[in-house]
Amino acid sequence: MFENLRGFSKRLITPMARGLLAVGLSADAVTSLGLILSFIYLVFIMLHSLPLAIFFMIASAVMDALDGEVARLKGMSGPRGAFLDSTLDRVEDLVYLIGLLLLGYSSVAVTIAVGGSLITSYIRAKAESLGQTMRGRGILERGDRLIIIFIILILTPFEHIVASYLIDVFALLTVITFVQRIFIGYRSIR
């Protein structure tokens, strides 16, 4: 859904990535920092400090957007960093969704969202290992999922019921996305 914003976001991300390079951070350090920030998000969820949790979730997501750009600017993009980034992204996805569970949202919907998110990411990785592209395929990519989680967090103190319905929709969309990717991947592999 939000894949078309990549060009716009790149204009914002590149100067920030240059700043991180200027202070000596590597792409792997930025990736690791994103993971650490996601756990801080979870701590603030447990402490019932939603504004700080939201802040750290955003900070974690920004680090995830920056790590690849830091690697590209430094000329260090490669399979090793991509492996670390992709692996830690899955951990972060799980951490963000555990936060929703700790906020008291439906364990069934959150579990389906976790499964749908992880399967969607797995299908992309497997298809790409077979030479197929999955970027932009399916209605709910990782960036879209993060935005929906952010919206749910924002709605939580004000419109808990609306946020609950949004989690149900989110779970459904993750399932639709992985089914779409299965069909797309299967048809494109010869």
Q: Which residues are catalytic?
A: 89
The rounded distance, in Å, linking the Cα atoms of 14 and 12 is: 6
Residue linked to tokens 């069909």: 183
Q: Give the residue among 99, 73, 86 at the shortest CA–CA distance from 31.
A: 86
Which run of H or of E encompasses 78? none
The rounded distance, in Å, linking the Cα atoms of 77 and 138 is: 26
Give the CA radius of gyration of the chain. 17
